Amino acid sequence: MSTIELNKRQETILQIVKENGPITGEHIAERLNLTRATLRPDLAILTMAGFLEARPRVGYFYSGKSGTQLLTDNLAKLYVKDYQSIPVVVNDSISVYDAICMMFLEDVGTMFVTDQQSLLVGVLSRKDLLRASIGGKDLSSIPVNIIMTRMPNIAMCTKDDQLIEVAKKLIEKQIDALPVVKETEGGFEVVGRITKTNITKALVSLATEEL
Ligand code: ADP
């Protein structure tokens, strides 16, 4: 899907098909005083972007879809599995001090906390760690499991979820990231993470991807 920015000729073609469709490529070319060959790339773009539909031996139809509708259609085709990152996971027994070091080392804003069975038990954000640091307590003696956000209050997603659903959850819960999980017998395994950055990347790919 390209940026839905049509050039003047493409806009004109769209107008012609809207008013005269179904219409063959030949007839569109005639109206524009152009050859069929000159027009071919424009027709291909308009068809692939979903503005026009082509039927063999009948011609081109206007699909009736607006740019916004097409964008919505394309957004719905983006899935977590294609945009997720590697999760940073820590054990629930490590100290707040070590978790802070880990956060800097791994350069992430959210870490996921797992138990001895490698199952998800909590989430640690930057502010969780900052909050624990206020008051001059000995950070190396506080385990993360007493300051983390814990199960069952964790918002999660799976690799087959739509990215748009994740985006909605991030906004609704006012958080920066979701763990991508796989359900197992005892609980949830963390297999990835989706952050606001991943969603921003998806947005950019939607706007620049070649047809
Ligand atoms: P920050 O606290 O650095 O602004 P967030 O906005 O992501 O980062 O986190 C806000 C609060 O929500 C924190 O207490 C954090 O533990 C919690 N949180 C973060 N991600 C999730 C999640 N996926 N599910 C539930 N709570 C979360």
> What is the model's pLDDT at position 195?
97
Q: 8-75 with 80-202: one CATH topology?
A: no
């031996």: which residue's tokens? Answer: 57
CA angle 97, 100, 102 (to 5 degrees): 110
Sequence ranges of the domains in the chain: 8-75, 80-202
List Cβ neighbours of 199 (8 Å cut-off, separation of 6 or more): 83, 163, 166, 167, 170
101 Cα: distance to centroid of ligand 1 (angstroms): 18
What is the pLDDT, as a whole number, of residue 209? 66
Please list, in sequence order, all residues whose beta carbon lies within 8 angstroms of the beta carbon of residue 27, skipping any fewer than 6 positions away. 20, 59
E-state strands within 56-210: 59-62, 89-91, 110-114, 120-125, 149-150, 177-183, 188-195
The fold for domain 80-202 equals: CBS-domain (3.10.580)
108 C-alpha to ligand 1 centroid (Å): 13
pTM for the full model? 0.78
Going by alpha carbons, the residue nearest to atom 19 of ligand 1 is: 175
Rounded CA-CA distance 141/132 in Å is 11
Interatomic CA distance for residues 136 and 190, integer angstroms: 32
Residue with tokens 């796989």: 182
Please give the pLDDT value at position 210: 43
Rounded-to-integer distance, Cα 191 and Cα 201, Å: 20
CATH class of this structure's domain 8-75: mainly alpha
Q: Which residues of the chain have pLDDT under 50?
A: 1-2, 210-211
Residue 4: predicted pLDDT: 59
Q: How many angstroms separate the alpha carbon of residue 103 from the centre of ligand 1?
A: 14
Please give the structure tokens belonging to residue 83.
């945009």
Q: How far apart are CA 23 and CA 26, in angstroms?
A: 8
